[in-house]
Amino acid sequence: MESESRTFSRVKTYLRGRLRRIHSAEAPYLFNGVPAEGGLNADALKEARLSDGLVDFLLQMDHKLDAILSHLNRGLIQDDFPIPVEVLDISGAGVRFVSSQTFTPGEHVEITLVLNQFPLRMAGAIGRVARVANAAEAGSTPHSAAPYSVALDFVRIREADLEAVVHFVFNEERKQIREKKWD
């Protein structure tokens, strides 16, 4: 069987994430937050011959329910994934994060990433720790004083989560290009 080789763009960012230690790359996923397919579609509602007022009401309710559900699920994520991390760069192949916890190369973890706060967009993956360094020596500039910089390679990632990460990276690259253009 031929191995498929993919290369992904990597972008500097600041995301919050949480992770848990697992015994192997084959451990079952605990995170099951497959990204929604965009929620309600205004065009589809209008094609259903609903009044404009009702379409606006349904869209507002959809946004409010997203906010409520994301708030309610925050506690569950923190219980299941006890280790907070700050992601400093991301690609479809992995992330680099800083943490106050220490890790060893080859260790497996499951990570959840908050790609967007509102509407809530999350992604999860199982990864293997590739490198660990002192955050200050690695040139990391986290918002907290986390002492360890960790490179994590994704070993398993669902297609929908990979698509969400790649979409996030693409949008961040576009945003950073626009910012540089106007500087």
Q: What's the CA gap between 131 and 118, in Å, rounded?
A: 32
* Amino acid symbol at 80: D
15 pLDDT more than 90: yes
Q: Which domain range does residue 140 map to? A: 11-35+83-182
For the chain, what is the domain count? 1
Contact by Cβ (8 Å): 84, 18: yes
Sorted by sequence, the CB contacts under 8 Å of residue 96 that are 6+ apart come out as 87, 88, 89, 90, 140, 149, 150, 151, 152
pLDDT in tens, 143-160: 667 889 999 999 999 999
Tokens standing for 36?
């929604």
Give the CATH number of the domain where residue 138 resides: 2.40.10.220
Residue 89 domain-assigned (yes or no) = yes
pLDDT at 1 (0 to 100): 39
pLDDT in tens, 22-43: 999 999 988 876 444 555 666 7
CA distances from residue 169 to 30, 66, 155 in whole angstroms, order as listed: 24, 23, 19
The model carries a pTM of: 0.74
Residue 116 domain-assigned (yes or no) = yes
Is the omega angle on the peptide bond into residue 119 within 30 degrees of 0, that is, cis?
Answer: yes
Residue 92 domain-assigned (yes or no) = yes
Residue 141 domain-assigned (yes or no) = yes
Residue 17 domain-assigned (yes or no) = yes
